[in-house]
Structure 1
C-alpha cells in the first residue's frame, strides 16, 4: 500500500517507489518474467483490469493510440486482477488476451496482491510510473487518454533532458494465434430460411451457417477490424444480431440489425445482397449528452445485444448500464431503461439499475435480459416494470440450482426463450446452460463443461449454443438432460473498505490534465452521484451534487456497497486557442464497505491525479 501527495501535474511533493508486481506470472512476453526495476529508463503504464469489465475493455481501446504514439518510450503492462472465479483461471485469461487483441505484456494477479499493494479501488485503474521508478499519476475509469498523453509528454521532456530516458523496444512478444473458421463468436439468430446468422466477434465478421452449425454459406466482413459500409463491409467485434419483422424490413431496406460493439454502432444488414449500412450511432462512445434523437446523431456505448420487442429494437447498452430503443421506421434512438448507475435495483424502467446487460430475448409479454456484472436474470413486463428472477447483486455469484431465491449464476452473457416457455441462460463463466421455469421459479442445469457459452438459439427443435472460447456452435443438450447442482456460493474477493459509522468525508480526487482547466462555460464542470445498497446504509448524503466532495452519514450496519458516479469536464487553458480540446472524464465505483469503530472517517476515490 502507498500514499502520495501531488500538487499539480507531475510536480511531486513526495516521491514514492512503485512496488514490484507480485502474482502468478506473465503473458505476451515470450515466456520471460519482467521486473519493474529492469524497466528503468522507460515510462511504465500499469493498467489494472479484469476481462469481465466493459469499462476495462474501453480502456484497452483508448490506450492503443498512446501505445503507438509513444512506442519507443512507453511500456504498458496490463495487471489482471480478477473479479470472478473463472477469470482467475490462467487458460481463461490467455483466451481473453487473444479475444480482445491485447498488445502489451499482461501480469496475472489472481489473488489481487498487486491490486492491494497499489491501493486500487476500482476496475479499471491506471498507474503511471516514471523512468526512475516512481509513481507520478493515478487515474480510475475511462476517458483519460488525453491526460495521459500530456503527462507522458512532460515525462519525456523532463527525463530526456536529465538523460534518464531510454528509447527502444519493450518486453512485448506477440502470441501465436490458432486459425479457426469462427474465432470467439458471440451470438446467433435463426433466419427465415432456417440458417444461423453468427456474430464472429474476433474475426470482425457476420457468418451465415447451415442448420448443422458448421457449413459456411457466406462471410460478411473480411476478418479485419474496421468501420466500412457497403458490399465489402468491416466491423469491430460485432456481438448481437436482431431480425426485423418482414414488414419493417421491407420499408427500411435491411433485414437484420447488428450490434457493432467496439465501433459503438448499430449496422443494418440486407440478407439478400449482403450490403451493410450504419443505422444508429456516431462511432463515438457516449459519455454524456443527449440520449434521444436522430439515430445517427446519438452516441452509443458498447451495444452488446439487440432484439425486436413490441415496436422497435431494444439495445443492451453494456457500456453505460442502460437499455436503448431504436425505431428503424422513424430513424430515432432513445433511452429505454436505466440511469447509468451500475447495480441491481428493480423499479419502473426509467429508475431501475442495470449492470452491463449482455443478452436479450423477447416474448410478446416479456423482455428477458441477463446482467453479467450482477450475475442476474431479469425481465421487463408489459407495464415497463423491471423484475429480478435470479441474482443477488454486484458481489455474489456461483453455480447453484433450486429455487430462484437462492439460485446463483456467474457472469451470464446470453438468454433465450425455449419452445415450452422456459428460459435458457448461457451461464458463461460457469461453462453451463441453465434453465429457469417462470411458472415454478425453479432453476436447473441443462449442460456443463462448455467453454464460455455466450449465445443460444433454437433451430429445428434443437438448442444451438455459441460456445465462444471453443470457437464453434454446439448442440450439447439432449432430450431429458437436466440436473440440479448444489454448488458453492462465492463473493467477489475484493477487500472491503472499513469506515466508521456516522459522518464520513467522501472525496473524489480529480486534477485536470496538464494545460487544461475545469470547464464551467456551460454550467457546473463536475457532478457527483451517490447511492447505496442497501439504501438504508446511507442515512444522509445520497443524491446528486455538483461538488466532488461531500459529507455522508453511514448507518451502523454490518456492510454494504457505496455506488459513486463522478464526472468532470475540462478544456485547454489557453485563451489563444480558438477551438480548445475538451474532455469529459467519468467513473463509477461500487465500493464494498464494512462498518467498524476503528474505520476511516475519510474515503478518497482517485478519478485522476493523486490524493494528498
Structure 2
C-alpha cells in the first residue's frame, strides 16, 4: 500500500443536528451512508478557506460519484450563520451539490473534535474514521485515500456503488442571483443614461442594468462557471465579486474600462464595455499559498519585481478600486488576508499591506494583519477604508509621507462581534462586506450579517445605524439625487436585488449586545504549552532536506503578552511556549509550513522536480484554567490526523 494520510480506525460518531438540506427533506444517519466512503466537511458560510475547500472537493465528488458521499456539516462561527435561512441561501449561492447537516449548536463539530474551519473527516464504508484533516490543499491525498479504500472494500464486499442521497434545490429567478458588488458607469456607456454594472455572482456573469436596477442592457459571461477570455457570450467567470472603473485617461491606452475581481478563478479580468471583450490581466489561476509551485525556501508573500502578472498566484480577490494616491489598483485579497496592488501599465502585482497572518493588528503596512478583507473605498484625502469581514472590523490604510499605516476604527478581533452603536471601544458589527465614503467623509458600511447599513464618523469616532432590515447586504454605493443630496444604493445579496435608501435625518442608536463566537475555547492547564504540527507528504512526494529543515512554525497571540517565550518564526514543527500567568483568555495564531518535492521515499529528489509548499493557519481561542488535567500539548495537523 502506498504512503497515505490514513490513521488507526475509530468508530464514527452519529451525525446530529437541527436538520438537513439537499436531501429532498430526508434526514440522514450513518446507517443510511453505510457502504459509501464519506467525507465530512466541517465548514461555516463566512469562511474563505471553507469556500476554497468546496471547490477543491468538486472534482473528487465527480470522479467518485458512485462510491463517495460528501456531507457538509455546517457549524457556524457567527450568530447570523445559525439562521437556517442564511444557511439555505449559502447552499444555493455556492451551488453546493451534496447533503448539508445543519449543526447550529456545534454538536457534531465537538463529537469529531474539530479545531478549525475547515476540517475534513473521512469515514470508510464500515463506519470507521480513517482520516482527520484541517485546512485546505488535501485533495490529492484524498484522491489516493479514496482509491485505496475503494480497492480494499471492493474486495471485502463492503463497498456499495450507486447514486448518493443528494437532491438539488430550486434555483433563484430574476435579474440577479446573489449579486456581489456594483459600480455606477459613466453615462457614455449607456447612450447618455445612467446605468450600473453588477456582478451577478451565482450566475457567474456581469450585468449592466438601467437606472431601475431591473432592465438589463448587456450581459458578459455566464451562466455557467469557467475561465475563458473573449466576447460577451464566450467569456466565462467564476463567482465574480468586486468591480473598479479604470480612470478615464487610461481606458484607451489599456484597452479596457472595468477591472473585475474574478474570485474563484483567482484572477483579475478586464472588460471593454463597448465590444464586450474580456481579457485576463493578472493571476495564474493557481490559488496562492496552497500547494502551489512555489520556489523552495522562498517567502510565499514575495513577488519578484517585473514578474509576468499572468504567472502570479492570487487567492480569492474580493474587491478592487483605483487608488488616486497610490496611482494603482488596490485589491482586497480575501484568500490570503492581505491587500494587493496592481499597476496596470507595467502589470506589476505586489503585496500592498498585510503579512498573510489572519487577525487584527495595526501598524506599518508590511507588519499588519487583516482577516478576509472584502470591501474597499477611498476617501477624498486618499485614505483607504477596508471592510475586514472575519474580524467584523472597519480598518483604514493611510499614507503618511513615504510610509503606509494600518489602523482599526471599529473591531476587536476574530471572535468578537455584535450589533452595538457607540464609540470605537464599545461598537460592534457582524461580518461586514462592503464600504463607501459619504460626501461628508464619514463611512457607510454594509454590515452584512446584521442586515444593516452602519455609519462611522472619523471626526467623532462614533458608529451609528443608518438603516436595517436587509437580507445580507454585500455592498453599498453613494448616489447623488436630483436635488443635490445623496442616497445609498444597497446590493442586497440574499434578496437578489439592488435597492435605494434615503439617508435618514437622524441615525439610529442600536444596542443589541456584543457577542463572541460560540466555538468552545481550548482549555489549557497553563504555565507552558507544547505545540506539535504533524505533516505527512502525499504519495509520490518527500520532504525536501536539500537546504536544511523544510518545515516551519510561526506562532503569535492576541494579546501579544500572552506568550512570554516561544513566539516568532523558526524551523521545525514543534514549539515550547511559556505563558503569561496573568492572562487567562487569548487567541493563538499558528502557521505551519512544509516543503515537499516529487520523489519516492528513500530516493533522491530528481533535478527539476516539482516542489510544493503546504501551509495551514489556525486561530485558536484558548482559556487557561490552572487545572492540571487540561491540555499541556496542542497537536495540529498540517497533513495527518488529530489525536
Displacement after TM superposition at 1:8 (Å): 6.4
Counterpart for residue 269 of structure 2 = 267
Counterpart for residue 285 of structure 1 = 287
Query: Please, which of 334, 350, 357 is the counterpart of residue 334 of structure 1?
Result: 350
Counterpart for residue 190 of structure 2 = none
Displacement after TM superposition at 1:462 (Å): 2.3
Instruction: Say if 1:143 and 1:585, in contact at 8 Å, map to a contact too.
Output: yes
Displacement after TM superposition at 1:242 (Å): 0.6
Displacement after TM superposition at 1:403 (Å): 1.3
| Residues 378, 483 of structure 1: alpha-carbon distance in 2 compared, 3 angstrom cutoff | same
Counterpart for residue 249 of structure 2 = 247
Q: Secondary structure at the match of 2:91?
A: helix
Distance in 1 of aligned mates of 2:453 and 2:162? 48
Q: How does 1:408-557 map to 2 (within 5 A)?
A: 408-460=428-480, 461-480=486-505, 482-521=507-546, 524-556=549-581, 557=583
- The CA deviation string for residues 278-327 of structure 1, in whole angstroms up to 9 with x for no partner, is 00101111115443433111110000000111210000000010010000
Distance in 2 of aligned mates of 1:303 and 1:237? 11
Distance in 2 of aligned mates of 1:82 and 1:192? 41
Distance in 1 of aligned mates of 2:609 and 2:58? 23
Instruction: Say if 2:453 and 2:467, in contact at 8 Å, map to a contact too.
Output: yes
Displacement after TM superposition at 1:523 (Å): 5.4
Displacement after TM superposition at 1:607 (Å): 2.6
Structure 1 residue 560 corresponds to structure 2 residue 589:
no
Where does structure 1 differ by over 6 angstroms across 4 or more consecutive aligned residues? 576-579
- The CA deviation string for residues 119-172 of structure 1, in whole angstroms up to 9 with x for no partner, is 100000000011111111111011100011111111111111111111111111
Distance in 2 of aligned mates of 1:495 and 1:105? 25
Counterpart for residue 38 of structure 1 = 32
Instruction: Say if 2:4 and 2:144, in contact at 8 Å, map to a contact too.
Output: no
| Residues 516, 37 of structure 1: alpha-carbon distance in 2 compared, 3 angstrom cutoff | farther
Displacement after TM superposition at 1:476 (Å): 2.7
Q: Secondary structure at the match of 2:635?
A: strand
Counterpart for residue 180 of structure 1 = 174
Displacement after TM superposition at 1:515 (Å): 4.3
Distance in 2 of aligned mates of 1:504 and 1:198? 49
Query: Please, which of 297, 319, 323 is the counterpart of residue 339 of structure 2?
Result: 323
Displacement after TM superposition at 1:253 (Å): 1.1
Q: Secondary structure at the match of 2:391?
A: coil
Instruction: Say if 1:88 and 1:110, in contact at 8 Å, map to a contact too.
Output: yes
TM-score, normalised with respect to structure 1:
0.96
| Residues 385, 203 of structure 1: alpha-carbon distance in 2 compared, 3 angstrom cutoff | same
Counterpart for residue 234 of structure 1 = 236
Q: Secondary structure at the match of 1:66?
A: helix
Structure 1 residue 402 corresponds to structure 2 residue 422:
yes
Counterpart for residue 301 of structure 1 = 315
Displacement after TM superposition at 1:521 (Å): 4.1
Instruction: Say if 1:415 and 1:424, in contact at 8 Å, map to a contact too.
Output: yes
Counterpart for residue 3 of structure 1 = none
Distance in 2 of aligned mates of 1:305 and 1:11? 39
Query: Please, which of 345, 350, 353 is the counterpart of residue 366 of structure 2?
Result: 350
| Residues 458, 155 of structure 1: alpha-carbon distance in 2 compared, 3 angstrom cutoff | same
Q: Secondary structure at the match of 2:88?
A: helix
Give the gaps of 5 or more residues in structure 1: 1-6
Distance in 2 of aligned mates of 1:594 and 1:565? 20
Distance in 1 of aligned mates of 2:257 and 2:548? 43
Distance in 1 of aligned mates of 2:468 and 2:434? 15
Structure 1 residue 98 corresponds to structure 2 residue 118:
no
Counterpart for residue 217 of structure 1 = 217
Distance in 2 of aligned mates of 1:342 and 1:63? 24
Counterpart for residue 4 of structure 1 = none
| Residues 10, 342 of structure 1: alpha-carbon distance in 2 compared, 3 angstrom cutoff | closer
Instruction: Say if 1:137 and 1:608, in contact at 8 Å, map to a contact too.
Output: no
Q: Secondary structure at the match of 1:412?
A: coil
- The CA deviation string for residues 547-593 of structure 1, in whole angstroms up to 9 with x for no partner, is 11111111111110000011223344435997866543321111111
Counterpart for residue 626 of structure 2 = 597
Distance in 2 of aligned mates of 1:305 and 1:394? 20
Counterpart for residue 197 of structure 1 = 197
Q: Secondary structure at the match of 1:476?
A: strand
Aligned pairs, how many? 605
Distance in 2 of aligned mates of 1:576 and 1:535? 42
TM-score, normalised with respect to structure 2:
0.91
Instruction: Say if 1:264 and 1:282, in contact at 8 Å, map to a contact too.
Output: yes
Displacement after TM superposition at 1:197 (Å): 1.2
Distance in 2 of aligned mates of 1:102 and 1:582? 32
Displacement after TM superposition at 1:276 (Å): 0.9
Structure 1 residue 370 corresponds to structure 2 residue 399:
no
Instruction: Say if 2:597 and 2:612, in contact at 8 Å, map to a contact too.
Output: yes
Distance in 2 of aligned mates of 1:519 and 1:531? 26
Q: Secondary structure at the match of 2:287?
A: coil
Displacement after TM superposition at 1:512 (Å): 2.0
| Residues 541, 587 of structure 1: alpha-carbon distance in 2 compared, 3 angstrom cutoff | same
| Residues 97, 581 of structure 1: alpha-carbon distance in 2 compared, 3 angstrom cutoff | farther
Instruction: Say if 2:119 and 2:134, in contact at 8 Å, map to a contact too.
Output: yes
Structure 1 residue 80 corresponds to structure 2 residue 98:
no
| Residues 195, 296 of structure 1: alpha-carbon distance in 2 compared, 3 angstrom cutoff | same
Instruction: Say if 2:175 and 2:214, in contact at 8 Å, map to a contact too.
Output: no
- The CA deviation string for residues 72-106 of structure 1, in whole angstroms up to 9 with x for no partner, is 11110000000000100000000000101101000
Counterpart for residue 25 of structure 1 = 19
Q: What is the RMSD computed on CA atoms of the aligned residues? A: 1.7
Distance in 2 of aligned mates of 1:468 and 1:450? 9
Q: How does 1:39-54 map to 2 (within 5 A)?
A: 39-54=33-48
Distance in 1 of aligned mates of 2:274 and 2:545? 51
Distance in 2 of aligned mates of 1:18 and 1:264? 36
Instruction: Say if 1:505 and 1:601, in contact at 8 Å, map to a contact too.
Output: yes
